[in-house]
Amino acid sequence: MAHQHKYDKNGKQLCCTQQEKIYNKAGASSLLHKEHKHEDDHNHEEGEEHDHSNSNQTTLQMFTPAIISLALLLTAIAFDYYIKPTWFTGWVRIVWYAIAYIPVGFPVMKEAYESITKGEIFSEFLLMCIATIGAFSIGEYPEGVAVMLFYAIGEVFQTLAVKRAKANIKTLLDQRPDEVTILENNQPKTIKAAAANIGDIIQLKAGEKLGLDGELLTDTASFNTAALTGESKPDTKAKGETVLAGMINLNTVAQVKITTAYTDSKLSKILELVQNATAQKAPTELFIRKFAKIYTPIVVFLAIAICVVPMLFIDNYIFKEWLYRALVFLVISCPCALVISIPLGYFGGIGAASKNGILFKGSNFLDIIANIQNVVMDKTGTMTQGVFKVQEVVIDAAFNKDEILQMVNVLESQSTHPVATAIHEYVGNINTEIKLTNVEETAGQGLKATVNGKELLVGNFKLMDKFNITHNIEHSTIVYTLIAIAYDKKFVGYLTIADTIKEDAQEAVNKLKALGVTTTMLSGDKSSVVKFVADKLGIINAFGDLLPEDKVNKVKELKDKKLTVAFVGDGVNDAPVVALSNVGIAMGGLGSDATIETADVVIQDDKPSKIAMAINIGKQTKRIVWQNITLAFAVKAIVLTLGASGLATMWEAVFADVGVALLAILNAVRIQRMKF
């Protein structure tokens, strides 16, 4: 049964019941062999029940088989070397060690069998089974049990590390309530959130989280938007404003009219993005997977060769001795340090980014962003607030100012651009008596329509030039954004509109410079405005008066110089540039839906300082992954050589396998503790 959760003002869930939605891991191996997929509703429900049962598994329960095995092994070693009871010999001794082996060995044997049935014959599980059973066959019972015991302990630590890495993402994915309370005939009724329809009225009590996007019907209400932006600072909304799924109502009972279907809500899109994040594998991760598939069968055949080939060349060949060397070689060669720690490193990077309100669409983008040399950013909405206000209205005295503004307001209502919003806020309600025909938009220039049989133009001065509208305004000297107006083939006047620079824009530029990344600002806004903003922020490369195709050409110029480029924008008008850049970064989890659809990385809280943070997370993730690769290869190469020559025992083999894996895992989870 689903539950309606309640939350405190910091977004912390008050209800004790939670469901883990993604990437459950009953064992460390599932990170490698299982992908989270919803094939149908029935399987999805079964998966959630399975995940929920595993979420209740305590750390003690996970270690129980290893504890039992360790107790039996230590007792057996005490009997063998210290107490030496007369009855601890023969079949009794063998059975004792076998019982000690079963708690840790049986799960691995089961995994090996399942891998074989799926066609994955040469898995790490098969290597461990061959090595430990082989140790039993030559009478090395303590070492056989010890190898499997330490391997099992390593698996548990891997499981705990993966759970830790997933914690941030799981928290994000648990942000959406399963149920909502709607008003039906003015009576509250609790239903499944997915069953709510557009037009239904949700009654949201204080402390409850909104399940669908909608329009606020209550006069005012304050919300915690942490689920969407990572910021717990209250956001007060007024009647008629949009409120989004995931927002927590902080004070009085509020009513919200649903405007978007459950599956189309902003939060649903973010959750889908995060759920699919690990499907896009980094090149390093893909290489390691391919490497393991080739590497593992090779070492199996090498182990066979170590055991068999010497009998052809050595006179005093002893089968048991060379079999032991081969088994040591097998244990050492197990690739789990690589195939577990590397995906875990990338997963940790995605989790660390999510914790900071940065959503990567795949681990491959962590690799790419780590090598970014030039960040190209849009001005409006990226480095500035994107909230325009009309500063000045200059209309020729030959025209009726109010009439002109009313026509401009009606025409701008055809656009969703922030400038249009500013004009609407300044002029007020739209005059429905004004009828427009032949409405056209010219990308990067403005709007044209016919009003009362006469042509109305509203846009920048490029639009005026295009239609041969003469004027005597020296617009390049005016710092503010200018909106020119022409009516009936005559220049009417203009409006000046101002935007404000974001609080952390300067910090963003400084951090990028510290990382050695060059910044470039591109904008369709007039050059004087772009230069004014760039000068204040210390950006040398800044270009204004650009059409979408001009932005594309500027990015092409950078790429022609063999530079890796990240473009930061809104993901809608700048879609061609986003597609061309190496990494597209969208500002605004609360912006347009297209930001989530088109970009490779989404910064949820609109803070430009997060651009440098995203690059830094990518760099740290890549550094940790390559540290693990180097560590694993170096240690294994040394111990493999010693094992093949008979200088390494099973104990060294255990360190080379489990010990290195644990060191690599501990290194991988460091990224979750880092401060960026």
For residues 495-513, one letter each, b for 16 or more C-beta atoms within 10 angstroms of the residue's C-beta and e for the rest, the string is bbbbbebbebbbebbebbe
Which one, of 345, 335, 336, 359, lies nearest residue 281 by Cα? 345
Which residues, 6 or more positions from 454, have their beta carbon under 8 angstroms from its beta carbon? 487, 488
Which one, of 286, 284, 287, 301, lies nearest residue 122 by Cα? 301
Q: Which two tokens stand for residue 555?
A: 């990015």
Region of 192 (left: φ > 0; alpha: ψ -120 to 50; beta: rest) is beta
Q: How many CB atoms lie within 10 A of CB 83?
A: 10
Which one, of 270, 287, 265, lies nearest residue 360 by Cα? 270
Which residues, 6 or more positions from 90, have their beta carbon under 8 angstroms from its beta carbon? none
Which residues, 6 or more positions from 540, have their beta carbon under 8 angstroms from its beta carbon? 534
Strands 187-192 and 374-378: unpaired
What is the C-alpha separation between 120 and 123, in angstroms, rounded?
Answer: 6
Determine contact, residues 101/145, Cβ cutoff 8 Å.
yes
Distance of CA 233 to the CA centre of its chain: 22
Which one, of 330, 346, 338, lies nearest residue 291 by Cα? 338
Q: Where are the alpha helices (DSSP H) in 356-429?
A: 363-370, 401-412, 418-427
Determine contact, residues 193/180, Cβ cutoff 8 Å.
yes
Is residue 378 part of the annotated active site? The answer reads yes
Q: Which helix (H) or strand (E) holds 52?
A: helix 41-55
In 187-292, the DSSP E strands lie at: 187-192, 201-204, 214-216, 220-224, 234-238, 242-243, 248-249, 254-258
Which one, of 49, 2, 41, lies nearest residue 180 by Cα? 2
Backbone phi, psi, residue 90, to 5°? 55, -135
Q: Which helix (H) or strand (E) holds 297?
A: helix 283-308
Amino acid at the residue 367: D
What is the C-alpha separation between 363 and 229, in angstroms, rounded?
Answer: 21
Distance of CA 25 to the CA centre of its chain: 19
User: Which is the catalytic residue, given 200, 378, 570, 600?
Assistant: 378
**Cα dist from 23 to 13, 19, 389, 619, whole Å:** 21, 12, 46, 25
The Cα angle at residue 51 between residues 45 and 54, in degrees rounded to 5: 145
Catalytic residues: 378
